[in-house]
Structure 1
Amino acid sequence: MNHCVTRPENGPAPTGRSRRGEPRTYDFRRPTKLSREHVRVLQIAQEAFARQTTTVLTTMLRAGARLELLGIEQHSYDDYVASLPDPCFLATFTIEPLAGKGVLAYPLDIAMAAVDHMLGGSGSADQPDRPMTVMETAITNHLLGRLLSELAGSFSHIIELQPELSEIEYNPQLAQAASGSDTVMVASYTIGIGSRSGEATLVLPFSSFQVPLNNAASPQLSESAQAKRRRAFEALNERLTQVPVDVGVRFAPLEVSSEDLLSLAVGDVLLLRHPQDAPLEVTTNEVTFAYAIASNHRRRLAAAIVPTPATSQNRAQKDTA
């Protein structure tokens, strides 16, 4: 059974940065696999990629360029392909050492304008709506190589990737980077070159990135780091056993009224009312941790530790209950 929440008629369509309370479509047959931690880790990488790509485009095209992250979402590959215009510029690439392929897609006119800029043009003229020629493809491949290099650097805190350009397609249906039902992570960007702007997407397979994302969200310590932590724990434990602690041996506490306390004078006697057969309390920091009886050791007063009285055990059990 498929349930979904739809937006109100004439309302704004869902985007990567939806406002709080805005209805969003949810397909219960394809539950969300991207956790909040995954999105946080991906956002760091995708924003770094956007910054570096902006620098590369501006340098290589010698024109104002920008790439800004809009949001990161999960889709099936079929749903993603259905959202793309036809024709569209799509570059598929391998993501060694991981399995599967990634996709970088943006409007065809922006791809043609980029070639125009690299050949010394202004990029403002009407661009042809056709596949690229061999020369145009070679020029674009050089640019894509730089972008994939920046992608590897941006994802280095997740996994060391070695992306390689696979092929270029113009019909989204022919760019078979994944099976139709596969879950993919779609990062949406606003891309602009000169006066042209549009939406770009970077698609990565979730199944391939799941383990690296889990590790990046909850980093696992290396063996050397674990050994260092064990040595620190052992050193701390050893030092703690040598820390001096003030210990007191006392009779049972005595309660007196304020009037009696203020009227005490030299020579007055306070009855401690400590039972003769009851052991003394051994305390530290107002916490009783043992019991003892008065004794002596080599002409010194001492306290011999004795078993905990049954009455004290019963009282502790009652307090715990």
Structure 2
Amino acid sequence: MTRPDNGPAPGSPAASSRPAGHRRRGEPRTYDFRRPTKLSREHVRVLQIAQEAFARQATTVLTTMLRAGARLELVGIEQHSYDDYVATLPNPCFIATFTLEPLAGKGLLAYPLDIAMSSVDHMLGGSGAADQPDRPMTVMETTITNHLLTRLLQELTASFSHIVQLQPELSDVEYNPQLAQAAAGSDTVMVASFTMAIGSRAGEATLVLPFSSFAAALNNAASPQLSESAQAKRRRAAEALEQRLNLVPVDVSVRFTPLEVSSDDLLSLAVGDVLLLRHPQDAPLEVTTNDVTFAFAIASNHRRRLAAAIVPTPSAAQKDTA
């Protein structure tokens, strides 16, 4: 089944100018009712936070290691069967597979082969602008690229740490999409699409993760549920905090209404001078802490010591009288 679309027809100049596997927003796409959507809106939100963090960190890694302008930006996250995803990849294409310990299954990172070749050129001190060979990498080129991929997987670990603790390890590099066996053909995978640019070259990169391996972790991240022991620990911490706060000493002052004095009068004060407080006789004193008035009082005494008896606030007293 396909969804209607107002985009350019296949074979038109606008359609032929797009790279293979690239789908514009609003174009029709296949929907298999035998495999309904498993990615909820909450799952996508959690994944988007992780994938955007990965894109930012990967941009820094690429720029630093290649010593060239680089950019990786998240475009979107979709669900596909693995066979449907592989069908969108051009042949040849640079495809790196990696394990997802302690989770089962494999992940996959794919991007255009010419960008992978130009990355090697950059790391060897070249400009990356020359025409790149359309062939599998040599042993030396693979070793150099593996160092870059290892750094990217480290950033993937950090970006997904709020979802699950991963220890990804680079598994294999392939160039024919049909030979990249990262999952069974009918398995549901989560495909994050990125725009990737290195120097003057740009293309589409995809990061593929198996849904079944991440399902439980995504559910917990979207709707975190604390265990009974964790909830009990949190309650004990809250009770201990409340008890300690009740024992914290606080400086309290009882003062007359503040008096405003000009700078000239203040500088001319001498011993024996008298300042008129101008505090009304029937007005209560202010009880303050850290310059915040929280109560009112009247002067009193308690066992031959000066004291302050707390009284209602003036506004409350007026309301009661009314």
What TM-score does the superposition give when structure 1 sets the normalisation length?
Answer: 0.68
Q: Distance in 2 between matches of 1:9 and 1:40?
A: 27
* 2:215 aligned with 1:210: yes
Q: Displacement, 1:120?
A: 0.1
**1:128 is matched with which residue?**
133
Could you tell me which amino acid in structure 1 is paired with residue 3 of structure 2? Answer: V
* 2:16 aligned with 1:7: no
- In structure 2, the CA distance between the partners of 1:132 and 1:233, relative to structure 1 (3 Å rule), is closer
The one of 194, 199, 208 aligned to 1:194: 199
Within 5 Å, which residues of 2 pair with 1:282-321?
A: none
- In structure 2, the CA distance between the partners of 1:234 and 1:110, relative to structure 1 (3 Å rule), is closer
- Give secondary structure in 1 for the equivalent of 2:158: helix
The one of 45, 56, 75 aligned to 1:40: 45
* 2:121 aligned with 1:116: yes
Identity %: 81
Which segment is superposed worse, 99-108 or 10-19? 10-19
| 2:82 and 2:184 in contact (8 A); partners too | yes
**1:164 is matched with which residue?**
169
The one of 140, 155, 158 aligned to 1:150: 155
Q: Displacement, 1:220?
A: 1.9
**1:219 is matched with which residue?**
224
- In structure 2, the CA distance between the partners of 1:231 and 1:27, relative to structure 1 (3 Å rule), is same
- In structure 2, the CA distance between the partners of 1:161 and 1:196, relative to structure 1 (3 Å rule), is same
Q: Distance in 1 between matches of 2:7 and 2:152?
A: 40
1:141-197 deviation per Cα after TM superposition (whole angstroms, max 9, x unaligned): 000000000000000000000000000000000000000000000000000000000
Q: Displacement, 1:26?
A: 2.6
What TM-score does the superposition give when structure 2 sets the normalisation length?
Answer: 0.67
**1:250 is matched with which residue?**
none
Give ranges in structure 2 of 5+ residues lacking alignment: 16-20, 241-322
Q: Displacement, 1:5?
A: 2.0
Q: Distance in 1 between matches of 2:71 and 2:91?
A: 24
Q: Displacement, 1:225?
A: 3.5
Q: Distance in 1 between matches of 2:80 and 2:140?
A: 35
Q: Distance in 1 between matches of 2:162 and 2:212?
A: 18
| 2:2 and 2:28 in contact (8 A); partners too | no
Q: Distance in 1 between matches of 2:88 and 2:23?
A: 14
Give 1 or 2 for the bigger CA radius of gyration: 1
**2:288 is matched with which residue?**
none
Q: Distance in 1 between matches of 2:23 and 2:238?
A: 45
Q: Distance in 2 between matches of 1:135 and 1:234?
A: 61
Q: Distance in 2 between matches of 1:215 and 1:50?
A: 23
Q: Distance in 2 between matches of 1:233 and 1:118?
A: 53
Q: Displacement, 1:29?
A: 1.8
Q: Displacement, 1:229?
A: 4.7
Give ranges in structure 1 of 5+ residues lacking alignment: 236-321
- Give secondary structure in 1 for the equivalent of 2:168: strand
| 1:6 and 1:25 in contact (8 A); partners too | no
| 2:75 and 2:195 in contact (8 A); partners too | yes
- In structure 2, the CA distance between the partners of 1:15 and 1:31, relative to structure 1 (3 Å rule), is farther
**1:98 is matched with which residue?**
103
Q: Distance in 2 between matches of 1:139 and 1:48?
A: 25
Could you tell me which amino acid in structure 2 is paired with residue 202 of structure 1? Answer: L
The one of 59, 65, 70 aligned to 1:54: 59
- Give secondary structure in 2 for the equivalent of 1:86: coil
* 2:178 aligned with 1:180: no
Could you tell me which amino acid in structure 1 is paired with residue 146 of structure 2? Answer: N
Could you tell me which amino acid in structure 1 is paired with residue 62 of structure 2? Answer: L
- Give secondary structure in 2 for the equivalent of 1:162: coil
1:94-136 deviation per Cα after TM superposition (whole angstroms, max 9, x unaligned): 0000000000000000000000000000000000000000100
Q: Distance in 2 between matches of 1:156 and 1:16?
A: 30
Q: Displacement, 1:7?
A: 2.4
| 2:111 and 2:205 in contact (8 A); partners too | yes
Q: Distance in 1 between matches of 2:233 and 2:24?
A: 42
